[in-house]
Chains A and B, each alone.
Chain A
Amino acid sequence: MGIKLNINDVRRLLDRSASDLNATTVDKLQASRRAALQHQQTKQPTLVHAWLAEHGVIGHHASHQHKALNWGLATFLAVALVGGISYWQITPERDHSTIDIAILTDELPVHMYVD
């Protein structure tokens, strides 16, 4: 006499085990969730937009001489924001020369660190 299960039974049993976690674990998971939500990335063109408007770069009252700056800067920011990155992330690589020198002058050959 065997027990018969199908895939839905497996899923239900796994769900059950997930719902049976102890209270401490559950609390910690909720805390993680709240912490993560506080760091949620949201595009904030509105803040930048507000700054630009405030400084007369864009908007109805923008002065004429700012127009070229408008379009250049707006394009640039649009590209950066749409790409989900900030300007300062475009060139993230720092100068690795210190570690590179360490690797190159080390007793161990370079190829040991290469996949």
Chain B
Amino acid sequence: MSRKLSLTFAALLLAPMGVFAAPWSSLSADQQQVLAPLSTTWNTLPESEQQSFVGIAKGYAKLTPEKQQRLQEQLETWGKLTTEQRHRAREKFTAFSKVPEEKREAVKQMVREQQAAPAK
């Protein structure tokens, strides 16, 4: 009885270290398909990050086909970043979203031009 309780609390102590992280095999087939670029590194991700990725897989179904394709294009790059890089990227993205519309549009226009006429 007492051993069971102390094991429980030992598990609670270990929880932050990702002991309860979901293994790749526990994802549904659909989720595995969406998150395919992450299959090899999945088990190295902290639980909180896995949560975000599962959330992405769940939200995927509600996206338009164009957005789904865009997400798939970018997911591999995103998955290769470190947790810290993703964290900072979210901050930058949030900051950028607060910039006035015309300036954001100006950046997007520059990017379109760059992509149309690559590397001079």
Query: In the complex, A touching B, CB below 8 Å?
Result: yes
Residues of A within 8 A of B58 (CB): 97
Per-residue interface assignment for chain B, residues 83 to 95, with 1 indicating a CB less than 8 Å from any chain A CB and 0 otherwise = 0011011101110
Given known contacts A67-B2, A72-B6, A110-B77, is B49 in contact with A93 (CB within 8 Å)?
yes
User: B interface, by DSSP: helix, strand, loop or mixed?
Assistant: helix
Given known contacts A67-B2, A72-B10, A98-B59, is B92 in contact with A104 (CB within 8 Å)?
no
Residues of B within 8 A of A104 (CB): 56, 70-71, 74-75, 78
CB A103 to nearest CB in B, in angstroms, measures 5
Contact (Cβ within 8 A) A75 B70: no
Asked if B13 is at the interface of the complex by the 8 Å CB criterion, the answer is yes
Contact (Cβ within 8 A) B90 A103: yes
Contact (Cβ within 8 A) A68 B47: no
Query: What is the CA–CA distance of A77 and B86 in the complex, to the nearest angstrom?
Result: 31
Query: What is the CA–CA distance of A109 and B77 in the complex, to the nearest angstrom?
Result: 10
Closest residue of chain B to A92 (Cβ to Cβ) is B48
Q: Interface size of B by Cβ–Cβ distance < 8 Å?
A: 46
Contact (Cβ within 8 A) B47 A110: no
Contact (Cβ within 8 A) B8 A72: yes
Closest residue of chain B to A73 (Cβ to Cβ) is B9
Residues of B within 8 A of A111 (CB): 77
7 contacts between A and B (CB under 8 A): A65-B1, A72-B9, A90-B15, A93-B51, A96-B86, A100-B90, A105-B74
Interface of B toward A, CB cutoff 8 Å: 1-3, 5-6, 8-10, 12-13, 15-16, 46-49, 51-56, 58-60, 63, 67, 70-71, 74-75, 77-78, 81, 85-86, 88-90, 92-94, 96, 107-108, 111
Interface of A toward B, CB cutoff 8 Å: 65, 67-69, 71-73, 75-76, 79, 90-91, 93-115
